[in-house]
Amino acid sequence: MQIPIERYTLENGLRVVLSQDHSLPIVSLNLWYNVGSRNEVPGRTGLAHLFEHMMFQGSQNVPDTQHIALVERVGGSINASTWLDRTNYYATLPASHLELGLWLESDRLGFYLPALTQEKFDNQREVVKNERRQRVDNAPYGDWDERMQRLLYPPDHPYHHSVIGSMDDLDAATLGDVRDFFRTFYAPDNAVLTLCGDFERDEARRLIDRYFGPIPRGPGVPPLPGRPALDPLHLGREVRETVASAVAVPRIYVAYRGPPYGSQEYYVADVVTELLAGGKSARLYRALVRERRVARAVAAFVLPVVTGAAALILRANVPPGHAPAPVEEALLEELGRLAEQPPAAEEMERALVSVEARRVLELQKVNERADQLSMLTTYFDDPDLINTEMDRYRAVTGDDVRAFVARHLSADNRVVLTYVPAAPAPAAEAE
Amino acid sequence: MREQRVLDRSRPPAPGPLRPFHFPDVRRRRLENGLEVIVAENHAFPVATLDLVLPSGGLAEPEERGGLASLTAGLLESGAGGRDATQIAEAVDELGLALETGISWDSSLVGFTALTSRLEAGMRILADLVIRPTFPRHEVERIRDERLASVVQRRADPASLADELNAHFSFPPGHPFGRRLGGPESTLATLTREDAAEFHAAHYLPAGAWLCAAGDVTLDGVSALAERYFAGWAGAPPPPRAPETEVPFDRTTVILADRPGSVQSEVRVGHVGIPRTADDYFAVTVMNAVLGGIFSSRLNLNLRERLGYTYGASSAFGMRRLPGTFTISSAIQSEGTAHAVSEMLREMRQMQEEPVSDAELADARSYLAGTFPLALQTTDGLAGKLSSMAVYGLPDDYYDTYRDRLMAVTAAQVQDAARRRLMPHRAAVVVVGDANALRGGLDALEIGPVQVIDPSDVLT
């Protein structure tokens, strides 16, 4: 399977990636801005995400509440998300409405500020505070990533705070902050535009030129605040936190710092998570869940972040009424085994086949393909990685795995975050 | 402000030429043992999905064995055809199969998605799981305990608790739809390997079942695989039960579950919905889109964009062979809760009292029609449409004409659907939040009685 790619750069610095696929009459339009919560200054956590909400509140030629409505009314779906390193905006439209999508995206890039009002800002601030309440404050384990980021990255690192931000900082944000944020980061030379799906190449190039060509370059993006480099890479000690909160089942998160996304070792880390908890044949599921039954559910993943250090994270649910310590012990035992001895060839092959199959299944969707192309261009200036990244996984050997686990998954590079039920068990609780 | 050149940006550009869309041809073949193979081809990627779908789901289990259909499906990969759980997991991962087992109220499904080159090897495993599961005792206990733990875990989550209470109060006492599909704790805790083996023997049978295949496959190819690997499998399951479904409340009733200190309230407004085969399916679907089915719906624009009470508000019909659910869902900041509840009920009434505007009607129809193909990008999504056709007896051209039928819905039909299918005066309003803070405001609404409940008294 080979995904076709054409890339070029407009005079104003906007990088464009085109990938045609005529199998369904739909087209995905995907725009990445190279700005995320890592760019926020102290006292303004959550601003990048709050700003993303404001991008849906209209621009000079698009009335309030109409940005999404204009897409929905032609049969398109649209959304956006903010992450540590970036902010992405994406829509999938009927192919005949490609121009509408380009008009909307270019209007909020080129003609945004005149439409900004205090009233819209006050409304979206409340919406975002409610998003925080729903996802973080009122949900069991909802603040795990906020806590984990705080424990894993030092106070002056751009990943120390969460994407959603604190209530205090959201309250303190002003319309002036929104204006400054836009002027600083929302410029064609700080963005990547990808089209994937059913379009004609020449027509698409003409339209992109027409709508995005006249938008001038930005003033240049300031360096990241704080100290984004992590030297040494490792934590240097074990960090532990236990949280008593409104959960019914204890849960453990164990995390390590590792080389960022883009390094060859990152791919090793991803294979390690596959070996540990990718499928039901993986080590943690087999040993902790199926055979020894000390844990109820396990997961392992790497945060694909590019600034300083990525994080390899393990998660396990403890059976209700049981103590978390034996689960932690069993988990670390499995890591110890992998640090001692490389996995057998068949086990490596299973992990790699699973990675490959999952990638192919994901890439069936035009929006997923477009998002990955934008990502690879934003982070590495290399959209072709979508076709060659599997080679990097294939290059990982059993010895690489053992060496990675021994080097990085060590006690002095570990965060252990444990949730335990705060109150006596509710009446409905079993055991 | 940035300068604009010749281009007129002041209005949205006109659409380009419409590009044709057709649902892939649906081809069927019935095998000797009664299993029907249904195929839709899509050769864009070297990928295919094979789903074995049985017409027995949650409704097929005896009431005192709630959760059995789900447990049985979950246990298939715990041992089958001479392999134990670990060997099955290794074989599945070796092939990179995305294996899926699961149930709805109306069906059970065992299937996988894989690269085409691994289809036959996957089929061999699929046949073992469907025909020759062994239900090892220790695995039955383990999976059952996992599920019991997840019941406990869900009840600590206000959103899941609100969903469970909503189902409970939307149906009359004792109705199966009033409990979780995975089973209530009380019956789940009693299930044994014999129960699972018995359910399997009675329901995992080919006559009346379907093999839905989508993607890089052909009818001949899949039929040949099915004949080979499902050879010797025979029998027919009993027809599904059809319990009576009445609306439990004479008037709208507020059920308040206390969660002290909550910074938000999980709100559900629910009642009995419609069967999947209802004659006004398309009108109901468009009506729901206007009310709460899309971002630009009345509920979301009102509660999120106008009032700022929530991150989002939505409504949905859960359709089944029998009348299913209608539910409005939102997480509302505590101070806005009572007002939000009254707005939800008012929006329901307004759908009944006034026809939707031409613009709302046009927008909702074209949203639904335009986004329909998105689900067909993956072989898994396409196979899902085939299994809906199979389980609900929809004709072969159903999805090819689906968009036209949506586009033909009128404002009068939408209003009629709202009058027939929404019950703002007989709804269950579930609120999970801080009862001390909320009680006064909910009483003052005077929409109906307010019952403060302890969920553990209600949910078994």
Task: Quick: pLDDT tens for B146-183.
Answer: 999 999 999 999 999 999 999 999 999 989 999 999 99
Q: Which two tokens stand for residue B312?
A: 């989002």
CB pair distance less than 8 Å for A134 and B18: no
State mean pLDDT over A101-113.
97
Residue B51 domain boundaries: 27-229
Read off the amino acid at residue B228.
Answer: R
ipTM: 0.93
Residue A428 banded pLDDT, cuts 50, 70, 90: very low
**Pick from B342, B179, B169: which is nearest to B270 by CA?**
B169
pLDDT of residue A415: 98
CB A72 within 8 A of CB A92: no
Answer yes or no: do B172 and B98 share one domain. yes
Helical segments of A84-117, H only: 98-110
- What order do you get walking across the sheet with A297-303 strand by strand? A239-245, A414-421, A251-258, A310-317, A297-303
Q: Is the pLDDT of residue A225 over 80?
A: yes
Note whether B160 contacts A: Cβ–Cβ < 8 A.
Answer: no
pLDDT of residue B245: 85
Q: Choose, out of A107, A113, A281, the residue to mutate when testing the contact with B (most B CBs < 10 Å).
A: A281
Answer yes or no: do B51 and B156 share one domain. yes
Answer yes or no: do B196 and B265 share one domain. no
Which residues in chain A have their CB less than 8 angstroms from residue B376's CB?
Answer: 24
pLDDT of residue A381: 98
CB atoms within 10 A of CB B232: 7
Residue A175 banded pLDDT, cuts 50, 70, 90: very high
How far apart, in whole angstroms, are the C-alpha atoms of residue B32 and residue B147? 38
CA distance A388 to chain B (A): 17
Q: Is the pLDDT of residue B242 over 90?
A: no
How far apart, in whole angstroms, are the C-alpha atoms of residue B111 and residue B302? 41
pLDDT of residue B23: 96
Note whether B85 contacts A: Cβ–Cβ < 8 A.
Answer: yes
pLDDT tens string A138-160: 999 999 999 999 999 999 999 99
Residue B112 lies in a domain: yes
pLDDT of residue B19: 82
Q: Is the pLDDT of residue B7 over 90?
A: no
Task: Spell out the residues 6+ positions from residue A20 whose beta carbon is closer than 8 angstroms to its own.
Answer: A4, A196, A197, A198, A199, A201
Q: Which two tokens stand for residue B79?
A: 């041992």
CA distance A199 to chain B (A): 10
**Pick from A168, A169, A149, A167: which is nearest to A158 by CA?**
A149
> Residue A298 belongs to what H/E stretch?
strand A297-303
Residue B201's Cβ-count burial label (10 Å; 0-12, 13-18, 19+) is exposed
CB atoms within 10 A of CB A248: 23
Answer yes or no: do B277 and B395 share one domain. yes
Q: Is the pLDDT of residue B128 over 90?
A: yes
pLDDT tens string A81-99: 999 999 999 999 999 999 9
How far apart, in whole angstroms, are the C-alpha atoms of residue A74 and residue A107? 18
How far apart, in whole angstroms, are the C-alpha atoms of residue B56 and residue A306? 49
Answer yes or no: do B217 and B292 share one domain. no
How far apart, in whole angstroms, are the C-alpha atoms of residue A193 and residue A32? 7
State mean pLDDT over A11-30.
97
State mean pLDDT over A204-229.
97
Q: Which two tokens stand for residue A305?
A: 């972040």
Report cis status (omega within 30 of 0) of the bond before B238. Answer: no
CA distance B228 to chain A (A): 26
Q: Which residue in the set B89, B370, B373 is minimally distant from A281, CB to CB?
A: B89
**Pick from B191, B203, B173: which is nearest to B67 by CA?**
B191
Answer yes or no: do B193 and B265 share one domain. no
The ranges assigned to domains in chain A are 6-212, 239-342+397-421
Report cis status (omega within 30 of 0) of the bond before A155. Answer: no
Q: Which two tokens stand for residue B408?
A: 């033909």
Question: How many domains does chain B divide into?
Answer: 2
Residue B16 banded pLDDT, cuts 50, 70, 90: confident
Note whether B296 contacts A: Cβ–Cβ < 8 A.
Answer: yes
Share of chain A above pLDDT 90, in %: 96
Answer yes or no: do B137 and B191 share one domain. yes
Which residues in chain B have their CB less than 8 angstroms from residue A356's CB?
Answer: 96
Residue A410's Cβ-count burial label (10 Å; 0-12, 13-18, 19+) is middle
**Pick from B357, B279, B284, B280: which is nearest to B317 by CA?**
B284
Answer yes or no: do B45 and B174 share one domain. yes
**Pick from B59, B62, B40, B58: which is nearest to B49 by CA?**
B40
CB pair distance less than 8 Å for A139 and B374: no
How far apart, in whole angstroms, are the C-alpha atoms of residue B150 and residue A113? 48
Task: Spell out the residues 6+ positions from residue A329 whose beta carbon is closer than 8 angstroms to its own.
Answer: none
pLDDT tens string A194-214: 999 999 999 999 999 999 999
> Residue A405 belongs to what H/E stretch?
helix A398-408
How far apart, in whole angstroms, are the C-alpha atoms of residue B322 and residue A57? 42
Read off the amino acid at residue B143.
Answer: I
CA triplet B76, B80, B85: central angle to 5 degrees? 75
CB B169 within 8 A of CB B270: yes
Answer yes or no: do B71 and B157 share one domain. yes
Helical segments of A15-91, H only: 47-54, 66-72
Q: Which two tokens stand for residue B129?
A: 């799981």
How far apart, in whole angstroms, are the C-alpha atoms of residue A348 and residue A400? 11
The third-level CATH classification (topology) of the domain covering A239-342+397-421 is: Cytochrome Bc1 Complex; Chain A, domain 1 (3.30.830)
Q: Higher model confidence: residue B17 or residue A387? A: A387
Please give the residue of chain B at the shortest CA–CA distance from A356: B96
**End of a domain among B186, B213, B229?**
B229
Handedness of CA A172, A178, A180, A185 (dihedral sign): positive
Which residues in chain A have their CB less than 8 angstroms from residue B77's CB?
Answer: 280
How far apart, in whole angstroms, are the C-alpha atoms of residue A134 and residue B152? 20
Residue B4 banded pLDDT, cuts 50, 70, 90: very low
Task: Spell out the residues 6+ positions from residue A147 whose beta carbon is closer than 8 angstroms to its own.
Answer: A241, A243, A417
pLDDT tens string A288-312: 999 999 999 999 999 999 999 999 9
What CATH number should be reported for the domain holding residue B79?
A: 3.30.830.10
**Pick from B85, B69, B383: which is nearest to A279 by CA?**
B85
Q: Is the pLDDT of residue B342 over 90?
A: yes
CA triplet B80, B81, B84: central angle to 5 degrees? 50
Read off the amino acid at residue A294.
Answer: V
> Which residue is associated with the tokens 């996304």?
A261
Please give the residue of chain B at the shortest CA–CA distance from A293: B142
> Percentages helix, strand, coil for chain B, rounded to the nearest 5?
45, 20, 35
User: First-to-last CA distance in chain B?
Assistant: 62
How far apart, in whole angstroms, are the C-alpha atoms of residue A383 and residue A2? 12
Distances in whole angstroms, Cα of residue A391 to Cα of each of A1, A386, B432, B452: 13, 10, 50, 60
Q: Which two tokens stand for residue A413?
A: 């590079």
How far apart, in whole angstroms, are the C-alpha atoms of residue B118 and residue B47? 9
Q: What are phi and psi of B56, to 5 degrees?
A: -120, 120
- DSSP for A163-207 reads SS--HHHHHH--HHHHHHHHHHH-SGGGEEEEEEES--HHHHHHH
Residue B244 banded pLDDT, cuts 50, 70, 90: confident
> Which residue is associated with the tokens 């000690």?
A237
pLDDT tens string B347-392: 999 999 999 999 999 999 999 999 999 999 999 999 999 999 999 9
pLDDT of residue A429: 38
**Which residues make beta-bridge pairs with A91?**
A29, A78
Which residues in chain B have their CB less than 8 angstroms from residue A354's CB?
Answer: 93, 96
- pTM metric for this prediction: 0.95
The SS3 call for residue A327 is helix
Read off the amino acid at residue A90.
Answer: Y
Answer yes or no: do B66 and B98 share one domain. yes
CB A311 within 8 A of CB A266: no
**Which residues make beta-bridge pairs with A299?**
A315
Residue A182 banded pLDDT, cuts 50, 70, 90: very high
CB B26 within 8 A of CB B210: no
Answer yes or no: do B53 and B182 share one domain. yes
* CATH code for the domain defined by A6-212: 3.30.830.10
Q: Report how far Cα B50 is from the mean position of its chain's Cα atoms.
A: 20
How far apart, in whole angstroms, are the C-alpha atoms of residue A422 and residue A245? 5
Helical segments of A98-141, H only: 98-110, 118-132
Answer yes or no: do B210 and B310 share one domain. no
pLDDT tens string B284-298: 999 999 999 999 999
Q: Which residue in the set A73, A198, A282 is minimally distant from B19, CB to CB?
A: A198
Q: Is the pLDDT of residue A317 over 70?
A: yes
How far apart, in whole angstroms, are the C-alpha atoms of residue A95 and residue A101? 10
Share of chain B above pLDDT 70, in %: 99
Q: Give, to the nearest 10 degrees, the angle between helix B219-229 and helix B119-131.
A: 40
Residue A424 banded pLDDT, cuts 50, 70, 90: low
Note whether B335 contacts A: Cβ–Cβ < 8 A.
Answer: no
Q: Which two tokens stand for residue B232?
A: 């010797």
Helical segments of B110-218, H only: 119-131, 137-155, 158-170, 185-188, 193-203
CB pair distance less than 8 Å for B1 and A249: no
